[in-house]
Amino acid sequence: MASIVVSLSPASMADAPSVRHHLKENTKVKTNDSSSFLRGGYGNAFVKSKSFSRFSMVAAVNVSHFEGISMAPPDPILGVSEAFRASTNEMKLNLGVGAYRTEELQPYVLNVVEKAEMLMLERGENKEYLPIEGLAAFNKVTAELLFGVDNPVIKQQRVATVQSLSGTGSLRLAAALIERYFPGAKVLISSPSWGNHKNIFNDARVPWSEYRYYDPKTVGLDFEGMIADIKAAPEGSFILLHGCAHNPTGIDPTPEQWENIADVVQEKNHIPFFDVAYQGFASGSLDADASSVRLFAARGMELMVAQSYSKNLGLYAERIGAINVVCPSADAAARVKSQLKRLARPMYSNPPVHGARIVANVVGEPDLFNEWRKEMEMMAGRIKSVRQKLYDSLTAKDQSGKDWSFILKQIGMFSYTGLNKSQSENMTNKWHVFMTKDGRISLAGLSSAKCEHLADAIIDSFYNVV
């Protein structure tokens, strides 16, 4: 085979990035700085062949820049929606992604969102860039919604709030802050957790490990394991906690257990890092669902909270959320905010305005706010009613005496069924119930009419597949 001669020039490192993966085994490489040839840079996990560090290369032959890139696996959650769309079966049911559907299994745009959008049109709002930190009116109401208007952290202006790209973008921005200002600090993630948490910290190069959370034996919380693992973490770790409606298990600590968790976090000088993606969706009450965060804040602790409006306002595609950092003083909050802005600017410059205005209008206008609360209660109520109906169907159909009541104890959009990977695959392959392979089903995508079919599918998969 012919060999390819490639010359490498470290002088132009800055514009180097993309050709290194073409160098096949029989490629001869010439470099004018061989000492640095294998040094520096991190391996690229997405490229099959060897990484050759940061060099610009002038290839003597025409080699493809992208040929060596391997196929990425589908996303474990959003890939389910892709597979669902591709299915032509009439019975198909998408219980993969956590997205609210009506009883007719249609996406739902909240009335208050439509009203807020009308207001925006009437006011003739423009499309100028937002400041890096986002819309001021949004940042104000979102922090107030989370902590409560009268919370001392709000009154004392101790919260640095930056509008970001929904829950995911807010978590990613916080991860960048950790990477920059707390080098080497670890994030502790519950086992299991929302699948994207690990990706976020991996991509931000923040080390993480897991703490015990779910106990398959009791289908409940492994509270002792959780406490022990948080205690054992290096002092000053970030403890990622789901504010409410834990995803995927639907199992939340009791108020008393939250107090105990706060004790240990405080004792070890850890930093609580809340992911609040379901405020109002767990119980139907915005205040009750924020109580875990408020309990930590009331102890005077520093903490971080990533917020999302994807679920509670149905603004999935608007990418609207925020990162809040509770600081010891207003001064510190101003400094933290300035650094969050500095991190956001090269990542995405500034956030989108549309969703921010919707939230500012809904949360900031008392009439719309009250109407929103009713709509949220309605959505949370529909999920609770299909949860009950699914339990009833399972109990009526399953003659074995198995106790399915764990489903009723879970809270939020999801139910963690306990089905394993092959059982979950059977749900999809045989019953056309599209779901994640960890046994999670989104009850927000279920209608009363489909409960019987789902119960049949679960019973068949549970008893007939190993």
- Compute the least distance from the CB of residue 168 to ligand KET, in Å: 3
d(CA 174, CA 303): 11
Nearest Cα to 384, choosing from 281, 278, 286, 248?
281
d(CA 46, CA 464): 38
Name the β-bridge partners of 160: 325
- Compute the least distance from the CB of residue 97 to ligand KET, in Å: 4
Please tell me whether the peptide bond between 192 and the residue prior to it is cis, using omega within 30 degrees of 0. Answer: yes
398's tokens: 């399953």
CA 258 to chain centre: 21
The residue among 27 and 196 lying less far from ligand KET, judged by its C-beta, is: 196
For ligand KET (CB under 6 A), the number of binding residues is 16
Q: Is 9:56 a contact under the CB 8 Å cutoff?
A: yes
**Which class for 353: exposed (0-12), middle (13-18), buried (19 or more C-beta within 10 A)?**
buried
359 touches ligand KET (CB under 6 A): no
d(CA 345, CA 337): 12
User: What would the x/- binding string for ligand KET be over residues 204 to 243, using CB under 6 A?
Assistant: --------------------------------------x-
The residue among 167 and 351 lying less far from ligand KET, judged by its C-beta, is: 167
- Compute the least distance from the CB of residue 167 to ligand KET, in Å: 3
97 touches ligand KET (CB under 6 A): yes
Instruction: Show which residues are catalytic.
Output: 194, 275, 311
- Compute the least distance from the CB of residue 272 to ligand KET, in Å: 15
Q: Which of 16, 77, 93, 343 binds ligand KET (CB under 6 A)?
A: 77
**Which class for 43: exposed (0-12), middle (13-18), buried (19 or more C-beta within 10 A)?**
exposed
Of the candidate spans 19-27, 136-144, 308-316, 374-382, the one that interacts with ligand KET by CB under 6 A turns out to be 308-316
SS3 442: strand
164 touches ligand KET (CB under 6 A): no
Site for ligand KET in 317-346 (CB under 6 A): 321
Q: Which of 68, 98, 134, 272 binds ligand KET (CB under 6 A)?
A: 98
Q: Which of 283, 308, 324, 428 binds ligand KET (CB under 6 A)?
A: 308
DSSP 217: T
The residue among 57 and 323 lying less far from ligand KET, judged by its C-beta, is: 323
Q: Which of 23, 200, 277, 293 binds ligand KET (CB under 6 A)?
A: 277
d(CA 266, CA 295): 12
Q: Is 189 left (phi over 0), alpha (psi -120 to 50) or beta?
A: beta
User: What would the x/- binding string for ligand KET be over residues 34 to 73, using CB under 6 A?
Assistant: ----------------------------------------
- Compute the least distance from the CB of residue 413 to ligand KET, in Å: 8
Of the candidate spans 164-172, 230-238, 291-299, 364-372, the one that interacts with ligand KET by CB under 6 A turns out to be 164-172
Of the candidate spans 25-33, 160-168, 279-287, 445-453, the one that interacts with ligand KET by CB under 6 A turns out to be 160-168
Q: Is 343:173 a contact under the CB 8 Å cutoff?
A: yes
The residue among 242 and 432 lying less far from ligand KET, judged by its C-beta, is: 242
CA 38 to chain centre: 36
Q: Which of 134, 148, 167, 250 binds ligand KET (CB under 6 A)?
A: 167
Q: How close are the terminal C-alpha atoms of the chain, in Å?
A: 50
Site for ligand KET in 406-445 (CB under 6 A): none
Query: Got the DSSP string for 66-114?
Result: STTBPPPPPPTTHHHHHHHHH---TT-EE-SS---B-TTS-B---HHHH
Within a 10 A sphere around the Cβ of 276, how many other Cβ atoms?
27
Nearest Cα to 281, choosing from 96, 416, 413?
413
Site for ligand KET in 251-270 (CB under 6 A): none
Of the candidate spans 17-25, 57-65, 165-173, 389-397, the one that interacts with ligand KET by CB under 6 A turns out to be 165-173
310 touches ligand KET (CB under 6 A): yes
- Compute the least distance from the CB of residue 372 to ligand KET, in Å: 17
Nearest Cα to 120, choosing from 354, 351, 414, 286?
354
User: What would the x/- binding string for ligand KET be over residues 178 to 207, using CB under 6 A?
Assistant: ----------------x-x-----------
168 touches ligand KET (CB under 6 A): yes
312 touches ligand KET (CB under 6 A): no
Please tell me whether the peptide bond between 248 and the residue prior to it is cis, using omega within 30 degrees of 0. Answer: yes
Interface residue list for ligand KET (CB under 6 A): 77, 97-98, 166-168, 194, 196, 242, 247, 275, 277, 308, 310, 316, 321
